[in-house]
Each structure stands twice: as structure tokens, then as C-alpha cells.
Structure 1
Amino acid sequence: MWTRFKALFVSLPRTAAVLRGTSSASRAQRAPVEHSQGADIEQAFLGLLLGVHSPLPLALNQFELASIRRLESIADSALKDHALIPRVPAILPRLLTSFRDPATSSRDLAELVGRDLVSVSEVMRLANSPFYRRSSDARSLEQAVLVLGQRGLRQMVANIMLKPVYNSRRGHFSSIAAPLLWGQAEKTAAISAALAREEGDPDEFSAYLAGLSSNLGLLIGARVLDSLFDGSETPSSQLFRAQWLQASRRLTARVARAWDFPEPARDALASLQLDADVLLPACGRRLYSAERFSQYHGLLSRGRLPGSEGTSPRRLAHAEHFSIAMQTLARFDRRA
């Protein structure tokens, strides 16, 4: 199963580029950006989200035009006042403060988690899952915290905070997109953190948080589609997909800033808005690479691989990322 997956990543060059569309709905007649093979992975994943696997080289229809305008309007607005923007989890600022404090102990974190019974049950479940491969079960919260370690506990708490955001609203598009976006974001976060750890970045948690949050704009974009969809037109053009992706990326970066994410996480998310052929900073390169690996993993499991057997994504960060990504994704397969 993994032979073809490996073939796509083992010969990657050291630069990274991202597919980007035009920035305004008023440029509806402009030809879409030419896709690189690496961007084909992202495009195939967007096909899953939108339910349109073969977009057409057409001008924006009225539904697409209205959706792009609405999404860009939200990105330019005061986010806290908009109904489609997820509310920041109330506990997030306090947790981020604790996570940044090197003096915070496992006992401190256990006490913080212990105030929430849902968090307690999730800590116990995860500590005793195949993901950690223990010979005997953890039987107390403090034992479970030791199993997870500060790294695992911080990542788990971030998951608990953000997962409800993906499940809070459902419509025609978001009911399809939300579970795909959350599952892929979990994998992106884990790979991004693993790459940060491999490269000696001391702020591994910011890399994880950026990965876990990377799909927030796409989630809001799906909610925008829900709010305007009447069944008469579909998001079927290549140009819409490029503009929707770009507007969603910009919105993700704005939400991260509004939620006061750590600066490295904000920088990583903001870098995904850069134009094609721009060399990404280290944090953005890791996030971009992690996204492609996690998206490809999801496509592979659904039989939606892009291109032919000879396809090789170009300009997708370091080839050395492959083994780290494979080890991380294998742990998800065991957990499932």
C-alpha cells in the first residue's frame, strides 16, 4: 500500500511552493494558476471537501461569486463579531499561558485537566491506546499524564479544545468537509510537530498547534457555502477553487492572530498564503510538507490518488521528511 506513496516523495527537491489563485472575485475571467504536481495532491483533497473531483475551466457562476465575496468580506471584518467564525475556547488563553511556562509540571497540568471530566476521560483513553503501546494500563490520572508526558498532554488538550469547533455547525458542505478536515488536521499537526522535533525546534507545540488549526479557514469556507447554497449551482470551476483556497488561508491566519496563538504558529499559518515559487520559512515549509503528506494519506485510503503511477510532487520541501511522516502516520493507523 505504501510503495506508491513512497515513490511520490523520495525524490523531492529542497524548495517549496504553494498553489495560489487570484485574490479577488472581480478577477473572475483570469486563467487559474497552473498546477504543479505537488499542488495536485491539495487539489484532489479539495475535491473531496467540495464533492467536485473534476473542476472545469469556467468563469465563476453566481453561487461561486457570492461565496467568494462573502468569504473575503469575513476575512476583512472584525472576526469576533461574525456568526460564522468559531468562538475561541474559553480555556485556551489560560492553557497557552501554562504551556509557555517552563515551570509548569505534569502535576500542574494534571490538576488543570482534572477540572474537566471530559478531558480526564480522554487522557485515560489516549494513554491506554495502542498509540502508546504500553504493557499495562494507566489506572490514575497522574499515571496517564506521565504516560503522555508534557508533549502528549499539551497536544491532547489542544485536540480537546479544537475538535468541537469542527463539529459545532452542520450544513450540506460542512457535513462532508468537517470530519475530513479534522482528521487531516490531526495528522498534519502530528507530522508538523515531529518535523519540528527532528530539526531541533524548541517550540514543538507551536508547530503542532499550527497543524491542528490549518483547516479553520476551509471550515469557515464550507460554512459560507452552506449559507448560500440552494442546489441550483455547484462550486465546479477551477477558478473558484483557487480563490476559495486563498481566501480560506488568509482567514485561517487572521483567526490565529485573533485567538492570540504563539507567534511561531501564526507565522507558519501566514506563510501558507505566499505566492507560488516563494521559498517558505522553516515553520511554513514544515507545515506545507505535513499538509501534503496528511492529505495524501487521506486520499490513498479513499482511493482518490491524483495523477498516474509516475506522478512525483515537485517542490515539496525536504525528501528527508518522508521517513518521519511515515512513522507518524503509522501510529495513526495503529490507533485506528
Structure 2
Amino acid sequence: MFKRLLALFTRNDSPASAMPRAGSSTQPPLSIDEDERIQEAFLGLVLGVHSPQDIALNHFEHKSLKRLRSLADSGLGDVQLVPRMPSVLPRLMSYFRDPETTSKELADLIGRDLVSVTEVMRLANSPYYRRSSAARSLEQAVVVLGQRGLRQLAANLLIKPLFTGHKGHFSNLAGPLLWTQSEKTAVLYAAMAHDAGSDEFVAYLAGLVANLGLLVGCRVLDQAFDGQQTPSSREFRQCWQSASRDLAVGVARVWELPDGVGDVLQGLQVETGLPDTCASQQLYAAERLSELHCLHQHGRRELPAPGEFTASSLLQTYYPLMLSEMRRFTG
């Protein structure tokens, strides 16, 4: 647990952090076939159906897609399906952006959540920080962690329960997996933002919430599922993911997250090929590579040497960075 958390909070410059930046003008794609195979295999884990077929939509698939589209058209008003933003998150983001915020003010804000208090104190007193004396107050622990580590920890603690607190066949199957992949995406995308001199926290937040649409999609499947039919068609998978992308953008806007979060999620909504903007290309790469790492951990893919990795040139660019960051993330 601590090794994974520490990987989120401490990132020293290393050879991996000197990776070239991606951009549509300098990184023409070689092939996105492997990118698509990674994505399809990961969705197989999410849905529990590993071999989609080129068949017509069944009744269950039709019903689920119709509900997803109506949810987006209705302004995401169904509180049973669409997660509400953690109430403390807006103030937390505001505090982190205010250079005048004191450690005591941050401690007071976090102190309203006993789980956060426990995790902050435990991490601040872990062997990694090698303090001569233990942090005995929440304010001391805030100082030890620093603002970067604290805000990422806080984002995790606030958003993770959304992925693990819903019951249902597909939510139970996919929730923990989607959360794990979200964490890895956030770590990779924040590392890319660090290298590009962009806002790491906005990138980290975008990575964490990028799967909220898929999470809502799983809740919709739960409501329609009677055990008779499964999401087996390739057409459903494509439509379901596209609708879930729309929902993720909608959730980011309803939550009033920083503009950069909604913009980069919006940029992922392309029918074919790679996204047009550099920021969305980087998030696309972080998603595919984190999916690959999840597949590896589930015994579905091997991790080849960098020179043997065949995918789009965009993914090849960031593959060594993924290997480096995931070693830190998994300990």
C-alpha cells in the first residue's frame, strides 16, 4: 500500500523523465492496431467477455445503450447512476491553488474526514520519510508530505470510494479494476505533464476521473442485466465506450472541475485514429499503457522490451516512461 502511495508523491527526475514530447506534427502514427487490441483486451476484463463477436446487438445491449444515451441527454440527473462530487473536493482544489493557504488550514479541511486523517498520519510516519521524530499532529503530517503529495493523496481518498461503493454484477467486476487503471493513468499522465511543464495536479485529476463514464456505464448494465444475455458484440463495445466518454466529459463539467480536465477528456472523443491535441494524445497514451500494465498483472499480456514493443509511435514514445513509473508505482 505505502509503496504504491509513495510512487504518487515522490518523483525525481530520471532518464525516463527526459522522454520526447508527443505531438501530431512530429509523431505520425505507425499503426494503431496494437493500441486497439490493448483497449479491446482491457474492456474484456471490464465486461467479463474476452472475445467480442461481429454480431448484431442483442436486447440487453440495445436497452443498455438507450439508457446511457438518455442519461447523457437528461443532464446526468440520475443520482443512482451518476456519482456526486465529494463535497470537500472543490474547497480542497481551491486551497491547493491559493499560495496563502497554511498547513493548518489544510489540516483543518482534511481533518473532517477521519479516513484521510488516518492515511495522512500513517504515510507521514512511514519509514520512507526517515524523520528523527514522529509527526504527532495532522498539521505536522501535512508539512512532511508537502503540497504535491498531499493533494494527490486527497484526490485518491475522495474519488476511490466512487469506484468501490456500488453493488451489481458489472460494478463488482469492473469497479476495482477501473480504479486501479485510473490510478496508473493518473500517475503516467502526471509524469508526462511534469516533463512538459504543465499542471501536474490537473493532469493527475484528469487521469483519475477519465473512467467515471465507464463506471456509470457499468451501473447502467447492472440495471438492465437479468443474466440471460451478455455484452458480446463488438458494435456494442464501441458504442458503449463512446457513450461512456460523453458521460465522463459531462461529469467533469457537472462537477465543475478545472477547464483543463474537461478539455482533455473532450479531446479523446475521436472516431478513428489518435486525438488531435498533444494533451489528449498524452492522456490517450497513459490510458493505453496503463491498460497494458493491468493486462500484464492479470496474466493477459507480456511486457516486451522497449525495442520490441509494437504499437503506434505515440505509445512507443512513452513506453519506457511507463515501465519506469510502474516500477515505482507497484514497488
Larger proportion of helix: 2
Task: Note the residue ranges of structure 1 that are not aligned, 5 or more in a row.
Answer: 1-8, 19-34
1:331 equivalent to 2:294? Answer no
- Is the Cα–Cα contact under 8 Å of residues 183 and 207 in structure 2 kept in the other structure? yes
Indicate how the Cα distance of structure 1 residues 284 and 59 shifts in structure 2: closer, same or farther if over 3 A, else same: same
Higher relative contact order (CA 8 A, sep 6+): 1
Partner of 2:206: 210
Partner of 2:183: 186
Matched letter for residue 277 of structure 1? G
* Partner-residue secondary structure (3-state), 1:245: helix
Unaligned 5+ segments in structure 2 are: 1-18
Q: For 1:195 and 1:147, how far apart are their aligned partners in 2?
A: 25
Paired residue for 1:135, among 124, 130, 137?
A: 130
- Residue of structure 1 in register with 2:153 after alignment: 156
Partner of 1:14: 27
Answer with 309-318 or 93-102: which moved more: 309-318
Mean Cα displacement is larger for which, 243-252 or 119-128?
119-128
Residue equivalent to 1:42: 39
- Give the TM-score, by structure 1 length: 0.83
Alignment of 1:1-336 (within 5 A): 14-15=27-28, 36-129=33-126, 133-136=128-131, 138-140=134-136, 141-201=138-198, 203-305=199-301, 312-317=310-315, 319=317, 321-334=318-331
Question: Tell me, what secondary structure is at the counterpart of 2:129?
Answer: coil
Distance 1:245 1:236 in 2: 14
Cα offset for 1:331?
A: 2.0
Q: Distance in 1 between matches of 2:303 and 2:118?
A: 43
> Can you list the C-alpha shifts for 1:242-266, whole angstroms capped at 9, x where unaligned?
1111000110000000000000111
1:304 aligned counterpart, secondary structure = coil
Task: Encode CA deviations 1:112-155: one digit per residue, 9 max, x unaligned.
Answer: 2123222110112333457xx33347423233223321111111
CA drift of 1:311 comes to: 6.1
The 8 Å contact of residues 110 and 116 in structure 2, kept in 1 or not, is answered as yes
Distance 1:129 1:307, change over 3 A: closer
Label 1:318 to 1:265 Cα distance change in 2 as closer, same or farther (>3 A). Answer: farther
Partner Cα distance (1:64, 1:248) in 2: 14
116-125 or 294-303, which deviates more: 116-125
Cα pair 1:39 1:313 within 8 Å, conserved: no
Query: Is 207-216 or 71-80 further displaced after alignment?
Result: 71-80
The one-character-per-residue Cα deviations of 1:31-66 (angstroms, maximum 9, x if unpaired) are: xxxx72112111111000101111111111111111
Tell me: CA distance 1:15–1:176, structure 2 relative to 1, closer, same or farther (3 Å): farther
Aligned residue identity for 2:82: I
1:16 CA displacement: 6.5
The size of the alignment, in residue pairs, is: 306
Q: Secondary structure at the match of 1:233?
A: coil
Q: Cα offset for 1:315?
A: 4.6
Structure 2: how far apart are the matches of 1:285 and 1:252? 17
Separation (CA, whole Å) in 1 of partners of 2:194 and 2:323: 15
Shift of 1:75: 1.3
SS in 2 for 1:217: helix
Relative to structure 1, the CA distance from residue 308 to residue 286 in structure 2 (aligned partners, 3 Å threshold; closer, same or farther) is closer
What whole-Å deviation, never above 9, does each CA across 1:169-221 have from its counterpart, x for those lacking one?
110111010000011101111111111011111x2111010000011010111
